[in-house]
């Protein structure tokens, strides 16, 4: 995700073509993100509430008749989503509150499931079926096919989720014999009071529902409910995961480096990541999880490379080894597990990490680009990934391709990727200058950031990028942060929200853009740069005011937000 060298055949863009307040807006956003970096180097932002987990917990409370106060808060949250513009949220909220799901007129199931990769289709269909059953729907005439419950080739999270779904549907169809002792042992192994297994509330609640009909499990269920309620949000709802702070920290590190942040904060972020590197060499999305993934590992490699390739040689080498252990025979990379289908987004992520190693990884990067080219659609897009935006994989693939020596060679995989990616971005810009998640969607900050990164790396003309930058500046809040919409997906195709990602990727995009601009005029002696501004071509630094901590909501237990200590890097 880090900026690539500007190809010799691309001209520098003039500052005059872009909004006059681009530099101060970039500095202000950078200062805002710097204020989010904790003294230990972590960037933390809890996952927001989601209707899916909130509905599942409400159904569990109704089933067990415990925690009435928490139930009232959940019901209030869900009531606010009865008329959500999102079809799935409408279905789940109404089903949880009324017990009568009506998918036929509220949700196009095939269209929704079509947003997930094909190889996950049977499992995701069974998951949606089980959720609707738990919320009062009819179980249907027959169980899903055996492929929906196969554990072959699945990583640990998927194994538990699939087993819980099988148990729920087996109970609904009155076929308890389908659940064997190993299934129950696997489900029970995830339950420890006070700990949501792997930081995943969806799996935690699914397991509780799967075990609830069995005799002798009430104590375990009640303990599990109380564990879940430790993560109830102030709005009364429940999140999908506790957080994805490791992923957020790594992406923030790349973004801050691109935007010219100073060494102290970047070193703090790098040391935080070093502390979280797992024994196998990879990283997970949160410190609460053990399952490493290609995405987080690749982003962490980029941060360590940017902050000290020699000093961090050993951890980088271990991480590169972890990526190679997952690499498929087709040259691509899956998300979690060796032998799983390769995915375009993960392949692009790994290629960007591998090419930090120069010619030592040339063959692996070349194979990854060939796989990416084979997966790219004629319109420039790629199969669904972990983002709601089709431009997410596009920008990451374009960055991997533009670094390759063959990116300008006619007919090469790298050239195909960059040309198709650029044309998709140019052809899909909205009249307001931004880009939307899918064709015809309203513009949003994250998708526009992805588009701007692509153009900064691949496009010759500045006009579309200038209009995109102008749109991004309209999304600023008074504190310098960026207003965005939910973009992340998990499990696919269910979306969720971590708001700080809008700040991170917007700053990353503005950092890419700044490096594409022509060098600024030399300073006069009267223009004395600050320590932070010295690395940012003379732009002024405006620090955002400290965030005022919110008091604990009524009935909530600490810890609650506390005033942040001044950062040494601000």
User: What is the per-residue pLDDT for 528?
Assistant: 36
Query: Does 255 share its domain with 174?
Result: no
User: What is the per-residue pLDDT for 112?
Assistant: 78
Using the 8-state DSSP alphabet, how is residue 488 labeled? Answer: E
Q: Which residue, 209, 239, 269, sits at the end of a domain? A: 239
User: What is the per-residue pLDDT for 544?
Assistant: 32
In a domain, 548, yes or no: no
User: What is the per-residue pLDDT for 306?
Assistant: 98
Give the strand pairing for 435-436 and 443-444: antiparallel
pLDDT digit string, tens, across residues 21-31? 999 999 999 99
Query: Does 288 share its domain with 427?
Result: yes
Q: How far apart are CA 259 and CA 26, in angstroms?
A: 8
Question: What are the start-end ranges of the E strands in 254-411?
Answer: none
Which residues lie closer than 8 Å to 105 by C-beta, 6 or more apart?
none
Query: Does 264 share its domain with 373?
Result: yes
Query: Does 264 share its domain with 354?
Result: yes
Query: Among 143-147, 252-256, 495-499, which stretch is predicted with the lowest mean pLDDT?
Result: 143-147
pLDDT band per the 50, 70, 90 thresholds, residue 543: very low
Active site includes 45?
Answer: no
Q: Is the predicted pLDDT of residue 105 greater than 60, yes or no?
A: no
Query: Does 80 share its domain with 212?
Result: yes
Q: How far is CA 152 from CA 158, 202, 338, 478, in A?
A: 10, 21, 12, 50
Q: How far apart are CA 187 and CA 181, in angstroms?
A: 10
In a domain, 552, yes or no: no
Query: Does 309 share its domain with 448?
Result: yes
Which helix (H) or strand (E) segment is 322 a member of?
helix 313-326
| 423-445 average pLDDT score | 98
CB of 255 within 8 A of CB of 296? no
Q: Is the predicted pLDDT of residue 549 greater than 50, yes or no?
A: no
pLDDT digit string, tens, across residues 147-204? 889 999 899 999 999 999 999 999 999 999 999 999 999 999 999 999 999 999 999 9
- The pLDDT > 70 percentage for the chain reads 89
Which helix (H) or strand (E) segment is 444 a member of?
strand 443-444
pLDDT band per the 50, 70, 90 thresholds, residue 111: confident
In a domain, 2, yes or no: no
pLDDT digit string, tens, across residues 338-369? 999 999 999 999 999 999 999 999 999 999 99
Please count the other Cβ atoms lying within 10 Å of the Cβ belonging to residue 131.
Answer: 26
| 249-272 average pLDDT score | 98
Instruction: Give the chain's end-to-end CA distance (angstroms, integer).
Output: 24
User: What is the per-residue pLDDT for 351?
Assistant: 98
Query: Among 107-111, 114-118, 149-153, 550-554, which stretch is predicted with the lowest mean pLDDT?
Result: 550-554
User: What is the per-residue pLDDT for 569?
Assistant: 57
Q: Which residue, 207, 239, 271, sits at the end of a domain? A: 239
CB of 540 within 8 A of CB of 474? no
User: What is the per-residue pLDDT for 214?
Assistant: 94
pLDDT digit string, tens, across residues 29-66? 999 999 999 999 999 999 999 999 999 999 999 999 99
Q: Which residue, 175, 207, 239, sits at the end of a domain? A: 239
pLDDT digit string, tens, across residues 300-346? 999 999 999 999 999 999 999 999 999 999 999 999 999 999 999 99
Query: Does 219 share its domain with 314?
Result: no
Highest mean pLDDT among 5-14, 47-56, 144-153, 538-547: 47-56
Q: CATH number for the domain including 411?
A: 1.50.10.20
Owning domain of residue 312:
15-47+243-517+525-535
pTM for this prediction: 0.90
In a domain, 6, yes or no: no
In a domain, 28, yes or no: yes
User: What is the per-residue pLDDT for 143?
Assistant: 85
> 488 pairs with which residues across the strands?
387, 496
Query: Does 312 share its domain with 177?
Result: no
Radius of gyration of the chain (CA): 24
Q: How far apart are CA 111 and CA 159, in angstroms?
A: 25
In a domain, 348, yes or no: yes
Query: Does 305 share its domain with 205?
Result: no
What is the 3-class SS of 384-442, one letter each residue? Answer: CCCECCCHHHHHHHHHHHHCCCCCCCCCCHHHHHHHHHHHHHHHCCCCCCCEECCCCCC
Query: Does 222 share its domain with 348?
Result: no
**Dihedrals φ, ψ of 457, to 5°?**
-95, -25
Q: How far apart are CA 61 and CA 126, in angstroms?
A: 23
Query: Does 336 share its domain with 482?
Result: yes
Please count the other Cβ atoms lying within 10 Å of the Cβ belonging to residue 400.
Answer: 28
Which of the following is catalytic: 45, 89, 293, 295? Answer: 295
Query: Does 20 share its domain with 118?
Result: no
Q: Give the count of domains, the chain.
A: 2
In a domain, 562, yes or no: no
In a domain, 3, yes or no: no
Q: Is the predicted pLDDT of residue 548 greater than 60, yes or no?
A: no
């Amino acid at each position: 995700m880090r900026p690539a060298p500007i190809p010799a055949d691309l001209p520098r863009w003039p500052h005059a073509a872009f909004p006059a307040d681009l530099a101060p807006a970039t500095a202000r956003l950078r200062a805002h993100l710097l204020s989010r970096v904790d003294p230990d180097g972590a960037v933390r932002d809890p996952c927001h509430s989601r209707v899916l987990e909130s509905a599942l917990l409400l159904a569990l409370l109704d089933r067990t008749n415990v925690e009435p106060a928490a139930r009232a808060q959940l019901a209030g949250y869900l009531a606010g989503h009865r008329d959500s513009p999102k079809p799935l949220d409408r279905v789940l909220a109404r089903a949880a509150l009324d017990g009568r799901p009506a998918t036929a007129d509220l949700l196009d199931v095939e269209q929704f499931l079509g947003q997930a990769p094909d190889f996950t289709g049977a499992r995701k269909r069974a998951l949606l079926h089980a959720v609707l059953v738990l919320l009062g729907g009819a179980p249907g005439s027959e169980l899903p096919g055996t492929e929906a419950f196969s554990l072959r080739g699945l990583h640990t999270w998927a194994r538990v989720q699939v087993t819980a779904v099988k148990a729920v549907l087996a109970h609904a169809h009155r076929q308890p014999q389908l659940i064997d002792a190993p299934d129950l042992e696997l489900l029970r192994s995830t339950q420890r009071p006070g700990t949501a297994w792997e930081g995943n509330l969806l799996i935690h609640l699914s397991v509780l529902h799967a075990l609830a009909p069995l005799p002798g499990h009430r104590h375990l269920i009640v303990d599990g409910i109380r564990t879940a309620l430790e993560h109830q949000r102030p709005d009364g709802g429940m999140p999908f995961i506790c957080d994805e702070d490791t992923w957020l920290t790594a992406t923030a590190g790349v973004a801050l480096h691109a935007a010219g942040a100073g060494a102290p904060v970047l070193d703090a972020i790098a040391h935080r990541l070093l502390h979280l590197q797992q024994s196998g060499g990879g990283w997970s999305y949160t410190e609460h999880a053990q399952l490493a993934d290609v995405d987080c590992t690749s982003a962490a490699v980029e941060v360590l490379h940017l902050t000290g390739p020699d000093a961090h040689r050993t951890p980088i080498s271990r991480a590169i080894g972890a990526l190679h252990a997952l690499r498929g025979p087709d040259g691509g990379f899956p998300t979690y597990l060796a032998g799983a289908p390769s995915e375009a987004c993960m392949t692009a992520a790994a290629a960007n990490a591998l090419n930090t190693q120069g010619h030592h990884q040339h063959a692996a990067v070349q194979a990854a680009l060939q796989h990416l080219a084979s997966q790219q659609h004629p319109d420039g897009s790629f199969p669904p990934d972990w983002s709601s935006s089709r431009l997410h994989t596009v920008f990451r693939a374009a960055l991997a391709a533009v670094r390759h020596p063959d990116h300008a060679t006619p007919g090469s995989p790298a050239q195909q990727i960059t040309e198709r990616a650029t044309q998709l971005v140019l052809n899909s810009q909205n009249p307001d200058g931004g880009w939307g998640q899918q064709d015809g969607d309203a513009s949003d900050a994250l998708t526009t950031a992805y588009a701007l990164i692509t153009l900064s790396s691949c496009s010759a003309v500045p006009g579309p990028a200038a209009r995109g930058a102008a749109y991004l500046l309209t999304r600023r809040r008074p504190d310098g942060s960026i207003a965005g919409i939910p973009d992340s997906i998990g499990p696919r195709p269910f979306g969720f929200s971590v708001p700080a990602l809008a700040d991170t990727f917007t700053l990353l995009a503005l950092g890419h853009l700044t490096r594409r601009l022509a060098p600024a005029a030399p300073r006069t002696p009267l223009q004395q740069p600050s320590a932070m501004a010295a690395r940012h071509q003379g732009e002024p630094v405006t620090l955002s005011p400290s965030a005022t901590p919110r008091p604990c909501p009524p009935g909530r237990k600490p810890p609650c937000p506390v005033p942040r200590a001044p950062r040494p890097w601000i």
